[in-house]
Amino acid sequence: EKGGFEHFMLKEIFEQPRSIRDCMRGRLDSTQGRLVLGGLSEYITKLVNAERILIVACGTSWHAGLVAEYFFEEFCRIPVEVEYASEFRYRNPVIREGDVVIAISQSGETADTLAAIELAKSKGAIIFGVCNVVGSSIARATHAGAYTHAGPEIGVASTKAFTAQLTVLSMIALSVAQRKGTITEQKLHELLVEMETIPAKVEKALLLNDEIKKISALFKDSRNFIYLGRGYNFPVALEGALKLKEISYIHAEGYPAAEMKHGPIALIDEEMPVVFIATRDSSYEKVVSNIQEVKARKGRVISVVTEGDKLIPAMSEFVVEVPAVHDALMPLVSVIPLQLLSYHIAVMRGCNVDQPRNLAKSVTVE
Ligand code: F6R
């Protein structure tokens, strides 16, 4: 059942080239410049005309929502707010006509997300669901939606569901952008072609496994970790830190790299591993200076860079290279080494990676 892998989590990490492909199958066709999302067709104009999009989710799904925020705002020019479902439901939020809610949930059973949906529904909002589990409570409670089709995720730490969420949300955003005319046909084509290359790029990133295992051995006894990224890689930093915390029980924080100087920089000393998600994108130069700031305080820099980068490797103690891809799609690739890092560290620490203490796969209590 684990397909020869030692744990479900590792199996699911390695399934990602396939799960991402499954998620796009029959929906995305770059040669025709077409996106077909069956479950949305009836309601897609609501999204196209939305004055605002509210995304509600928890945990890793909330991180996928943050990536989607950047994506929707960049390509659809619709303002987006991303909320923890647990906060949203209890804080008397403003929900207006013309707002559209997107709820993201792997299990489709998360109590807070479900309650956030019911609240938004009671105010007349249209709700889209992005769920993995077919027929789940959230899938049933929403007006329309798109399944992630990642297949059952058994490991408590979410991996393949996250990349499938990113894939679906990107397809929804591009489909809205196309209808709204906020993206040129040429740009759309370019992004669709790039999306089709993702499974192969994830496959390539998975080849880092042995290298990451070696790095993991050197850091398994660290007591803290900091993960830093900017732009589309900022949510990836949050996700990397969450993965490490939940399965290895090492304290980790994810931060936007530039925000580090407003506090967390005080934590940096020669014992602090700092993982930079520093791929070549529009914030590259800025990240380079953030790395310098960490190095000046003797932090131990581990970087995830784009293949062929020369500058950041020269500044880092350890480097892993991932294939180049458009900024907006990079989280699909840059998260892979972070999933592997948390997995190997947890295994080396003797932790139960598939069923970490205190955690359940579906959080059906608030
Ligand atoms: C992290 C993790 C949790 C879930 C969160 C939401 O690896 O698994 O943070 O992401 O409990 O769960 P879903 O997506 O099922 O609503």
| pTM of the predicted model as reported, rounded to 2 decimal places | 0.97
Q: Is the CB of 342 under 6 A from ligand 1?
A: no
Establish whether residue 59 lines the binding site of ligand 1, counting it when its CB lies within 6 angstroms of any ligand atom. Answer: yes
Atom of ligand 1 nearest to the CA of 59: 9
Which amino acid is residue 192, in one-letter code?
A: L
Q: Which residue among 180, 187, 204, 361 is the active-site one?
A: 361
pLDDT in tens, 89-133: 899 999 998 899 999 999 999 999 999 999 999 999 999 999 999
- Biggest CA-to-CA distance, the chain: 56
- Residue 52 CA, distance from chain mean position: 21
User: pLDDT value at position 329?
Assistant: 98
Strands, sheet with 251-256, edge to edge from the N-terminal-most edge strand: 251-256, 224-229, 273-277, 300-306, 318-322
The answer to whether the complex's ipTM is over 0.95 is yes
- Give catalytic status of residue 361 as yes or no: yes
d(CA 233, CA 26): 28
Beta bridge partners of 81: 54
pLDDT by residue (tens digit) across 52-80? Answer: 999 999 999 999 999 999 999 999 999 99
Q: How far is the CA of 247 from the centre of ligand 1 (A)?
A: 13
337 close to 208: Cβ distance less than 8 angstroms: yes
Closest CA to 60 of 195, 202, 171, 156: 156
Query: Residue 66 has what pLDDT?
Result: 98
pLDDT along the chain (366 residues), means of 10: 93 98 94 87 92 97 98 98 95 92 97 96 95 97 96 95 98 96 96 97 98 98 97 98 97 96 93 98 95 96 98 97 98 98 98 88 83
